[in-house]
Structure 1
Amino acid sequence: MKAFILDRYKKKQPLRLGEMPEPTIRDGDVLVAIEAAGLNLLDAKIRNGEFKALLKYRPPFVLGHDLAGTVIRIGRNVRRFKVGDAVYARPRDGRIGTFAERIAVDEADLALKPTNLSMAEAASIPLVGLTAWQALVEMAELKPGDKVLIHAGSGGVGTFAIQLAKHLGATVATTTSAANADLVRSLGADIVIDYRRQDFEKILSGYDVVINSLDGETLRKSLNVLKPGGKLISISGPPDPAFAKAQGLNWVLTQIMRLLSLGIRRKAKARGIDYAFLFMRASGAQLAEIATLLEAGTIRPVIDRVVPFEATDRALTELEAGRSKGKVVVELHSEGAAA
């Protein structure tokens, strides 16, 4: 099958369009003909080698964390899906590879595609939707009346998180450029901070939650926004000991995580603030709940552009430059649906 292949870890290493073996399916797997795949900064970070210690992918391998497509085969133990179902997913770590014509996905990671979305729209959702859900619903336990700051509101996670936070009844502030102010307001942002002209930490105070996806300086400044008892949740690091424990990392890596996050954890603790790192996990059950919100129109996809499969490598390079509003999606015209 055709796929975009990473031959070695290197910053800005080109992905090679080539042939990969057909996926083999286990008893609990679903074989999906991929019709659209979302691009994420996580793909670029893995390509650059930033997660080599945590995610043991051995080149050559296929990147890609978002998919929408059609079920073409099921394992003997699969009960929730049948051939012909339209589905979407974020495959679990260790089993990624959506920049390809087909993929085998664990049944537990898969959900039926929202009926009102196209394949491209559905493929834009899984990673950012699960990230926002796990940050706001699971970790922050956001409730009506809470105040939340969501950094980078015009990005993939930000556009979804703003809508989810508003659905949960929160007051939402976000940082973005002036050019994207109307977009984030249309998604429900109550307060919009132009990060180029304004210092968010001097404008906002008394917040319950901050979701950070930016650099370490932004993370530290975010402490000034939170009230005692508030929660600082970062999806861009640094990883903390709780993450290391959840991942089952060895003692050496656990100590590295402890040291990497020591500074921000100490600063947070001194202010009575809880710091946590989120590295989202696959969940078909959560995607099913998210599908309900999408079908109701409570949340809508935000897509910067849809490009052909052949443009995957160029699109990933452009995404890394950081100028996209919402998600970038590639469309495949796979022959797999006929398999």
Structure 2
Amino acid sequence: MKQVQVHKYGGPEVLKIVEAAMPVIEGWEMLVQVKYASANPKDVLLRKGKLKAFLSIAFPLTLGQDFSGVVVQAGKKIKEYKPGDKIYGMTNRPNNGTFSEYIKVSPQEVCHLPENMDFAEAAAVPLTAQTALQALKDIAKIKPGQHVCINGASGGVGTFAIQIAKILGAKVTAVSSAKNEDICRRLGADIHLDYNTISVEKSNAKYDVFFDVFGNKNWRKTKHLLPNNGWYISTAPNAKNIGDTILSYLKIKNSRLIVVESDYNDLKTLKGWLEKGKLKPVIEKEYPLSEIKEVHKRLETKRVVGKIVLRVS
């Protein structure tokens, strides 16, 4: 089977498409033919070696986390799925990359495909939408009427965060460039701030949650915007955010690095919202797997609007 592998850290040129052995499943696993996968900034960090201090992964690295596809084989202990079922989800195990024609997954990591979505649309959902959901619902515990600021609102996590915050009843301020104001408004943002003309941390606004999706702020820069029980949540895995997260568990401050894990119940919740039209993915462009290097070049600009999806098989 074809698979994207990385045999040394470096730029997009280290990405190789190779022939790899088919996965072998255990009784509690499923073999899945990947139809589409989506590209995420985490893939770039892994390729560059930026996460090697936090993850124990040996070469060759396999990239990609979320996907859509078809069950090919179900282990003897699997009751919920059968061959031919269309599913979407995200792999929690390291080095089980979805930029592969076939992968193995567990039932807890996946859910049946939303009935109104094709494989490309569904692949754009799992990692970014679950990140937004787990940050806003589980960590911040958003309540109706609260005010959420989303910094980096036009990206993959940000476009879902706007919609999920609105579903949960919050008022939303979206921070992005002026050219992406329209899409933020269409997704439900009540207020838009252009970061080129307005410094959000220098404003007089007050928020219950500051969701830093772009990752260029921190708790110290934004704490004056929040009440004592307000939350700063970031997607950026740096030493400062990790330290602040430890302090948050000690009840010293409300600052958390969101580390997403795929969860069947969360995927089922998202599936319901997607089928009702309350939630929709924003896809900037679709690429074939053969253009994985171009995809990474685009990711490195940090200007992707919504998601990029790859046609795998």
State if a TM-score over 0.5 links the two structures. yes
Work out which of the residue numbers 284, 300, 305 in structure 2 matches 1:325.
305
Does the aligned pair in 2 maintain the 1:240–1:277 contact within 8 Å?
A: no
Aligned to 1:36, what secondary structure does the other structure show? Answer: strand
Aligned to 1:198, what secondary structure does the other structure show? Answer: coil
Q: Cα offset for 1:54?
A: 2.2
Does the aligned pair in 1 maintain the 2:12–2:296 contact within 8 Å?
A: no
Q: Cα offset for 1:175?
A: 0.6
1:51 and 1:275 map into 2 onto residues whose CA distance is 20
Equivalent residue number for residue 2 of structure 1: 2
Distance 1:47 1:173, change over 3 A: same
Q: Does 1:283 align with 2:263?
A: yes
1:62 and 1:216 map into 2 onto residues whose CA distance is 27
Q: Does 1:173 align with 2:173?
A: yes
1:148 and 1:234 map into 2 onto residues whose CA distance is 13
Equivalent residue number for residue 214 of structure 2: 214
1:58-77 equivalences under 5 Å are 58-77=58-77
Deviations 1:24-54 (A, max 9, x none): 1111111110110000001111111111122
Q: Give the aligned residue type for 2:35.
A: E
Distance 1:240 1:106, change over 3 A: farther
Does the aligned pair in 2 maintain the 1:87–1:110 contact within 8 Å?
A: yes
Equivalent residue number for residue 232 of structure 1: 232
Q: Cα offset for 1:263?
A: 11
Equivalent residue number for residue 223 of structure 2: 223
Q: Cα offset for 1:14?
A: 2.5
User: Which is worse superposed, 117-126 or 3-12?
Assistant: 3-12
Q: Give the aligned residue type for 1:152.
A: G
TM-score (norm 2): 0.94
Distance 1:59 1:193, change over 3 A: same
Q: Does 1:104 align with 2:84?
A: no
User: Which is worse superposed, 38-47 or 273-282?
Assistant: 273-282
1:133 and 1:202 map into 2 onto residues whose CA distance is 28
Deviations 1:164-185 (A, max 9, x none): 0001000001110000000000
Q: Give the aligned residue type for 2:277.
A: G
1:28 and 1:262 map into 2 onto residues whose CA distance is 33
Q: Give the aligned residue type for 2:28.
A: G
User: Which is worse superposed, 81-90 or 309-318?
Assistant: 309-318
Q: Cα offset for 1:240?
A: 7.6
Q: Does 1:161 align with 2:141?
A: no
Deviations 1:216-247 (A, max 9, x none): 54553222321221111111134689xxxxxx
Q: Give the aligned residue type for 1:138.
A: D
1:239 and 1:181 map into 2 onto residues whose CA distance is 32
Q: Give the aligned residue type for 1:18.
A: V
Q: Does 1:191 align with 2:191?
A: yes
Equivalent residue number for residue 120 of structure 2: 120
Distance 1:53 1:93, change over 3 A: farther
Q: Give the aligned residue type for 2:258.
A: L
Q: Cα offset for 1:203?
A: 2.9
Work out which of the residue numbers 291, 294, 299 in structure 2 matches 1:314.
294
1:46-57 equivalences under 5 Å are 46-57=46-57
Does the aligned pair in 1 maintain the 2:67–2:123 contact within 8 Å?
A: yes
1:94 and 1:208 map into 2 onto residues whose CA distance is 34
Q: Does 1:302 align with 2:282?
A: yes
Equivalent residue number for residue 247 of structure 1: none
Q: Cα offset for 1:11?
A: 4.5
State percent identity of aligned pairs.
34
Q: Give the aligned residue type for 2:271.
A: A
Which segments of 5 or more consecutive residues in structure 1 lack a partner in the other structure?
A: 242-256, 335-339
Equivalent residue number for residue 22 of structure 1: 22
Does the aligned pair in 2 maintain the 1:230–1:274 contact within 8 Å?
A: yes
User: Which is worse superposed, 149-158 or 6-15?
Assistant: 6-15
Deviations 1:133-184 (A, max 9, x none): 1101100110100101111000000000100000100000111000000000
Does the aligned pair in 2 maintain the 1:159–1:184 contact within 8 Å?
A: yes
1:118 and 1:49 map into 2 onto residues whose CA distance is 33
TM-score (norm 1): 0.87
1:305 and 1:204 map into 2 onto residues whose CA distance is 37
Q: Give the aligned residue type for 2:37.
A: A
User: Which is worse superposed, 86-95 or 110-119?
Assistant: 86-95
Does the aligned pair in 2 maintain the 1:13–1:48 contact within 8 Å?
A: no
